[in-house]
């Protein structure tokens, strides 16, 4: 079971990292358009549409990746004080009440929306229209990945309720660990306290 959960984590991670390269394309696109507009005096009317499409694609495809890394914003003022099993019970309730209905609705509606767009070969409304219907299939794709990753998170909640501890998940980018950083540069808490006292004395002397 754990290996299956980690495989879904890896798929979400791989897709998130793959689509993250669109950030590079978006940056280059904006840079070129600014140069073209203000230096060459040849702006492109379709450039803003492409930028919005790229940004929307990045945003949508980051959902499952962020969920796999447990990186979505949560109000954890009280949550962090709960035992893991209590956290899992709350998460499980919220997944079934809010997450799953919303994601299923988004995936279903997104698929219908994308097919209707393809049926009419929908384009943007700029003077130089570009096809928009291929990108609308990103909506059901992102929704499907969120749904798959959400099922994995529900299984994790059940395992945590049973075992009393959260099962491991696929790791990617780690946030800065202050304690590890202090150990790396050989800084002790006592040194920091002495530095604080020195600063207080200097302020008092002024």
At 56-96, the pLDDT tens digits run 999 999 999 999 888 887 776 777 788 989 989 999 999 99
The set of long-range contacts for 110-119, using a CB threshold of 8 Å and a minimum separation of 24, is 110/136, 110/139, 110/140, 110/142, 110/143, 111/139, 111/140, 113/139, 114/139, 114/140
pLDDT(24) > 90 = yes
Residues 125 and 195 in one domain: no
pLDDT(45) > 90 = no
Query: Could you tell me the pLDDT band of residue 206, with boundaries at 50, 70 and 90?
Result: low
In 3D space, the residue among 180, 178, 191, 171 whose CA is nearest the CA of residue 69 turns out to be 171
Q: At which residue do the structure tokens 């994790």 appear?
A: 156
Q: Quote the pLDDT of residue 166.
A: 86
Output 181 or 123, whichever has higher pLDDT.
Answer: 123
Residues 156 and 58 in one domain: yes
Rounded to an integer, the average pLDDT of 20-39 is 93
In 3D space, the residue among 166, 168, 147 whose CA is nearest the CA of residue 157 turns out to be 166
DSSP 169: -
pLDDT(205) > 90 = no
φ/ψ of residue 171, rounded to 5? -95, 150
If phi > 0 it is left, if psi is from -120 to 50 it is alpha, else beta; for residue 73 that is beta
Kindly report the average pLDDT of the chain as a whole number.
Answer: 85
Distance of CA 67 to the CA centre of its chain: 7
Residues 72 and 94 in one domain: yes
Residue span of the structural domain in which 187 resides: 177-206
Residues 181 and 164 in one domain: no
Q: Quote the pLDDT of residue 188.
A: 67
Residues 28 and 104 in one domain: yes
Percent of the chain with pLDDT over 90: 52
Query: How far is residue 169's CA from residue 3's CA, in Å, rounded to a whole number?
Result: 10
Residues 19 and 51 in one domain: yes
Residues 59 and 138 in one domain: yes
Rounded to an integer, the average pLDDT of 155-165 is 91
Output 202 or 153, whichever has higher pLDDT.
Answer: 153
Residues 117 and 25 in one domain: yes
Query: How far is residue 18's CA from residue 141's CA, in Å, rounded to a whole number?
Result: 14
Residues 48 and 110 in one domain: yes
Output 182 or 13, whichever has higher pLDDT.
Answer: 13
How many other CB atoms are there within 10 angstroms of residue 135's CB atom?
Answer: 19
Residue 94 contacts residue 56 (beta carbons within 8 Å): no
Residues 89 and 54 in one domain: yes
What are the structure tokens assigned to 107, written together? Answer: 């995936």
Reported as type and span, the H/E element at residue 60 is: helix 47-68
Beta bridge partners of 131: 123
Residues 62 and 32 in one domain: yes
How many structural domains compose the chain? 2
Residues 181 and 165 in one domain: no
């Amino acid at each position: 079971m754990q290996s299956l959960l980690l495989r879904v984590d890896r798929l979400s991670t791989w897709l998130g990292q793959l689509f993250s390269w669109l950030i590079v394309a978006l940056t280059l696109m904006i840079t070129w358009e600014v140069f073209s507009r203000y230096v060459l005096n040849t702006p492109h009317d379709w450039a803003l549409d492409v930028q919005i499409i790229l940004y929307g694609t990045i945003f949508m495809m980051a959902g499952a990746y962020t969920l796999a890394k447990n990186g979505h914003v949560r109000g954890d003022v009280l949550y962090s004080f709960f035992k893991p099993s209590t956290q899992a019970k709350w998460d499980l309730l919220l997944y079934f009440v809010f997450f799953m209905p919303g994601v299923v609705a988004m995936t279903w509606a997104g698929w219908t929306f994308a097919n209707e767009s393809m049926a009419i070969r929908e384009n943007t409304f700029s003077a130089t229209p570009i096809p928009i219907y291929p990108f609308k299939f990103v909506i059901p794709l992102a929704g499907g990945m969120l749904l798959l990753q959400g099922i994995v998170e529900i299984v994790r909640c059940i395992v945590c309720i049973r075992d009393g501890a959260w099962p491991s998940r696929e790791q990617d980018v780690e946030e800065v660990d202050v304690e590890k950083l202090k150990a790396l540069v050989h800084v002790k808490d006592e040194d920091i306290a002495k530095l604080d006292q020195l600063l207080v004395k200097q302020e008092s002397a002024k």
